[in-house]
Each structure stands twice: as structure tokens, then as C-alpha cells.
Amino acid sequence: MPHSPAVEHREFLSGLIERVTYHNPENGYCVLRVKARGHRDLVTLIGHAASIQPGEWAQASGNWEVHREHGQQFRATHLKTAQPTSLEGIEKYLGSGLIKGIGPVYARKLVKAFGEAVFDIIEQDPSRLSEVTGIGPKRAAKITSAWADQKAIREIMVFLQSHGVGTSRAVRIFKTYGVDAIALVTENPYRLARDIRGIGFKTADMIAEKLGIPQDAMIRARAGISYTLLEAVDDGHCGLPRDDLLTTAEKLLEIPVAILEDAIRLELDDGVVVADQVADQDCVFLRRLWEAERVIAGRVALLREGEPPWPSVDADKAIPWVEGKLGVSLAASQKDAVRMALASKLMVITGGPGVGKTTLVNSILKILAAKGVHVLLAAPTGRAAKRMTEATGMEAKTIHRLLEFDPTTGGFRRNEEMPLQCNLLVLDETSMVDVPLMASVLRAVPAKAAVILVGDVDQLPSVGPGQVLADTIESEAVPVVRLTEVFRQAATSQIITNAHRINAGQMPVLTPPKDGETTDFYFVDTADAEDAVRKVVEIVQHRIPRRFGFDPIRDIQILTPMNRGGLGARTLNLALQAALNPAVDQPAVERFGWTYRPGDKVMQVENDYDKEVYNGDLGLVTAIDPDAQQVVINFDGRDVVYIFGELDEVSLAFATTIHKSQGSEYPAVVIPIGMPHFMMLKRNLIYTGVTRGKKLVVLVGQRRAVGLAVRTAEDGRRWSKLREILKKPVPVKNQAGTWLTS
């Protein structure tokens, strides 16, 4: 729950619902007019409820606020309703349209006939409804059925709220499970963590405790095993050594290892997890990731078979021709790479900034275009795809667009049955692509086609599980071109020079330029975290815009190693928001720990396929409508509407983590780097951050923190089987369904 004064100083309100001004059945959001105790006039109450009707008795906790157009209103953080008890409330309730077959006329008749006992009559003795003139058997049956549905909704909401589930989450649960919600949650509350966005294992565990499920129950042990593996996936693993899994789960659940051993065995028997060996260690994998790695290995084996899908090309003639067409002079290593690409069905091109990856790819594409080869280009993110389009002059798509993601099924339309129509697929920023996504890409590539994987293997690995590019290179199962020569023009950039120094384990050059000179790489020394935050704000708000003309919100991106702490993204976002977009007389909304205002820079933090906005996309808040409970965010010229309850999909993004910046480039990058980050200070992290800056990079912090990062190579391995299985012959099926072996 977001930290706010509304939580600390909660007030209470109760009264009769006179009118439902607005109710959204999808998310439960409602605006009510209430005859509240202690208030002479009707009160406006705003909250969430799965079902709400005039005449019900509302009990709410929250806070009063003043709306600039509608005046004072009560915003409820918790809202529950009860059947009315007064004759006035009962008549209003029955006549609201809630119960099919009863309108205002019949409501009046029923209350006149049965008084306060009317609800008991409908529920327990519906045959008596025929005592009211005009109600025959059909209408009585309709009334009885509608009443049962409403009673089920009410019971579900009361049940969930009594077990610590907030109203908006309760609405989401009801929408997911319907009338079976109580039975399903009671049987296995841990399914909530799997099925409902925003409910994790710990919340489900709390509900389970309230339901009386014992701490050492097998259902809890099995859920804890799955949760531990999912936490490992968040750290990039596809599985865990069995001993590590048991140790971590025992610490989390505080139950004996023997029970956890049984839980693993049951999960294995049900096929939820898979046992396998990695580097002679017994490991446990989530089945979907274990299978995805095998799909990758199988498709690699299939794709590298046979001849390239284009006529034979004389490289000795094609290379001088393309040099003339592009006006470039290829280095010997690039020429060798062109030869390899023209003769291969599957290859990897890797290297750091300024080594000519783009020139090489453009040369290959130009030669093959002259041969009429049908090429598709893709990248993991919208920003990376846009950069690829600008660099090649050909349309590049995000992987999700290329594979035609289907939100209704949660899968891709393009696969083995409906493959991509191409002779060659070039996939850029491959270091960002995780195991499930790479499996989906390779599934959709026709067996006759060629694939070129491009990326910088020295950058951070994918946020998702696995390290596909590194495993593919190290397996030696695929031809690899590693470009290392920094070209003369690129070598004049201190960003590129220092990036390569960092990657080689050497300190970047931190000495300031001479008076009157400018450079594209600066270091600003700070005493401590507080001093660093102050200097970051000053640099972004004043110094860079004055010196280089960059817009502080649109052009400058702050990249930090961590989310938390004095130099974390959260602290920096609050400081930068206050400096760059201060609170003035404009609408604002506070949700999920952030306050948003028009002009704020935000980042999408999860894929939303309906909105076509993806994890890592940057946008600007352009409008907030408190009445409609909507925020408009502009992503690259396209307005996207979010209801307030969906704002957990975004966060402020004046500052973001280096991990979140993968695949993106920014005109100017500011990187705070201090000893509070020491646990995160790794060479590939700083290298990735520095290479995000196109025209300017500023490090702000302490020299010893920079030195620690440069000296510390990433030693934490990701538990994955891919490298091993790529080295072995993998049985795969071709498109006709025949088994092949590489």
C-alpha cells in the first residue's frame, strides 16, 4: 500500500446510499451520493465495490479531500456495504434495478406487503411473493435467481475483506474467479499469487494463515517451492541447485527440510518442475523454462543445417561493391565477417561501442538486398527497434510486434505452424533477450531461413531468465564474429574510449578537460550520498542545459545501480520531480507510492499488450482527470489512457536503474555511483550505463566506488542448462514433423 497521510490519519464514514452516480463494473470504481450520519447534506463518496446499489448501507474508511470542481468529497481506501435495514433503504434498494423483475413499483408493493421481512421472504419463502398483485411464478423465479447472484457477490466481498484483502484487489479476485471465489480461495489461497496481478506469495500466505492453514501444510510447502523458484527467475536463473532451493525455502517458510523434500517430489510428479544436472549439480527447474531452453537448442540445430537461402555470392566482388555503395572502408575483421555471413545460416556478431557492428550489418543487408533476399529486422524494445530502423533505413519491429502477440491467448500467432515470411532475420540487442522470448523467436523462423544475432555480450544479461547470447557464444555451437577494433572516428569519443577501458578492467579517465575545452565524459566528485543527490539535481536542472542545451526532462536520463537507498532511483525521482516538475495548481494523483502530475516522466514497468506499451518504454504524463479517474501518458507521440487502478504498471522515471535502461540510448546520461551501491558495483553494470549515453555521460560520486566497480567482474553465474545442451546433438523435428539430429 502506498505510504500516505491517508493511511496514517484515517477517518470513518457511514450512511445510506441515495444514488450511484458512477460505477465501473470492470474495476469496481464508484462515485456515490450518501446520506451520512452527522451530515445534513448528501456527501460524495468515492471508492471501489464489485456491486453497489442505492439503499445499501455504506461503511467506509479514508480521508476527506477538496476537489477543485466538485468541492468536498470522501475518498475511501476501504468500502463495504450491507443490506439496508430501514423501510426507506429497502424500497430504494429493491427498486434500483439490482433485482431483475423488481422496479420501483414492485419494490413499493413488496415493502408494503412484507415490511422489514421482505429479504427473508425472497430468500427463504419465495412462494409468498405471489401474494403481491402482479407477481406470478415466472417473475417470482426471476426475482429469486437474481437475489441469489447478488447474495453470492456480497458474501465473496465480505469473505475477502475479512481476510485482509483490500476492496480493489477483492474486485479483481471476484472478476477472475466469479461465484466460485470463496471455494477456490479457501481450497488453495496460494493460487492468488499465481492468478491475480498485485497479490504475491506473502499476501496469499497471510490469507492462508487467517483461513487456518497450518504452517507445515503440504499446500504451503509446495507453494513455497514454486515461489522460491520464481524469486530465482527474478534474479535471472532458470532453476536452482536442489540444495540451494531447499535452504532458501526453509528460511522463507520455517518448516522442516523433510516436508520440503516431499513438496519437491510432488511438484516433480505433477510436472510443475523438472530435475536436471548442470555442471554435475542436481538442479530443479521450472518446467516452462527447462522446455524453452530445449526449444532453443533444437531450433539452433535445425537452423544451422543446409545452405543459406540465397544464391551463391562472390564475396571478393561483393565487398568492394558494397564499400562503394555505402562510402565506407571495411576493416579486415569486418570483411571476414561479411564472408562468414554470406556463407552461414546462423551466426553471432558481438562487440562494444564504436567497433562497427552497424556498418557490418548494413553491408550484409545491402549485399543481400541486391540478391532479392527478404529480410526482417527486430529488437527487444521499441527504442531499440527505432534505433535499428534509423541505422539501417529498413523497418525494424519489436519482437512482440514481429511475432504478433495475441493478448487473448497470452501467446504469439507466429510459430512453427504459422512461421515468419523471410529468408533472413536479424535480431539486434540480443543480450537483452531472455530464454522464453528467444524460444518464441526461433520457433517462428522457418527452417530454410538464416538468422544473425547481434549484441554486446559484455553488457548486462537479460532482465528475464537465462543468458542466451553468452551461452550461445560460449557453447561454440554457432559461428561468432567478435569485433574489437575501435574505429578512428569513434576513438575521439571519451564515452567510447572509457567504455572500452572499463570493459578491460581499467579505470576510465576522470581528469577534467582543460579550461575552455569540452568533452563528452565528465566525473563530478562528491563527499557522500546526500551531496551526490544535491549535485545530480544541480547538474540535471542547470549545468547540462546551460552548457549543452539539453532538455532536462526529455534529453537527460539519470541511471543508478539500485532502486533503494540514498542514491537509489526512488530517492532521486522524488528529488528530481520536486526540482523539474514542482507541485503547482494542477491536478495530481497518488497511487502505489508515487504522486503523478502532468509533465512527469514515467516508465512502463511491465508489458501491457492491450495498450501496446512494454516494459522499459518512457512516456510523459500529459493529462489527469480526477472525475474519470484517468491519466493520459504520451509514449513517442501516442496517447495511452490509464485508469488510476492501473498506475502500478508505471513509475516515475526521471531516474531509473541501469538494468531498466538496456536497449535504450539517451542524448545525455548521468550516473550516480557511490559506496552505498557497493553490493551492486560490477564492471558490466557500469559499462552498460556508460554505453547508454550518445552525446554526454556524467559520473557523479566517489572515485573509489568507480574503482571498485571496474575491478569487480561479474562472478555470479546464472543457473541455466542452455550452454551444455547447445554443445550436444539435440533431437529436433523439422516442419514436416520428422525427427532430425544435429
Q: Do the annotations mark residue 358 as ligand-binding? A: yes
Task: Give the other-Cβ count within 10 Å of 492's Cβ.
Answer: 11
Question: d(Cα 172, Cα 193) in Å, to the nearest integer?
Answer: 13
At 547, list the grid cell.
Answer: 552548457
Helix (H, G, I), strand (E, B) or coil at 594: strand
Tell me if 641 sits within 8 A of 634, measured CB to CB.
no
DSSP structure class, residue 297: H
Alpha carbon of 174 to those of 25, 108, 516, 735: distances in Å? 11, 31, 66, 43
Question: d(Cα 283, Cα 465) in Å, to the nearest integer?
Answer: 15
DSSP structure class, residue 283: E
Tell me if 167 sits within 8 A of 59, measured CB to CB.
no
Place of cell 541486391: 370
Look at residues 103, 105, 92, 99 and name the one whose alpha carbon lies nearest to residue 123.
Answer: 99
Look at residues 721, 740, 738, 728 and name the one whose alpha carbon lies nearest to residue 303.
Answer: 740
Helix (H, G, I), strand (E, B) or coil at 278: strand
Cβ neighbourhood burial of 584 (10 Å; 0-12, 13-18, 19+): exposed
Helix or strand run (H / E) with residue 405: strand 405-406
- ∠ Cα 15 18 20 (to 5°): 110
* Phi and psi angles of residue 99, each rounded to the nearest 5 degrees, phi first: -100, 115
The CB-side HSE value for 602 (13 A sphere, CA atoms) comes to 29
- Rg of the Cα atoms in the chain: 31
Tell me if 466 sits within 8 A of 435, measured CB to CB.
yes
Amino acid identity of residue 279, one-letter, is A
Amino acid identity of residue 79, one-letter, is L
In sequence order, the 6+-apart residues with CB closer than 8 A to the CB of 114 are 121, 128
Task: Give the other-Cβ count within 10 Å of 147's Cβ.
Answer: 20
Distance of alpha carbon 147 from its chain centroid, rounded?
40
Q: Do the annotations mark residue 697 as ligand-binding? A: no
Look at residues 679, 680, 632 and name the one whose alpha carbon lies nearest to residue 659.
Answer: 680
Q: Is 137 left (phi over 0), alpha (psi -120 to 50) or beta?
A: alpha
Laid out side by side, the sheet with 239-241 consists of 239-241, 281-286, 273-278
| Residue ranges of the binding site for ATP | 354-358
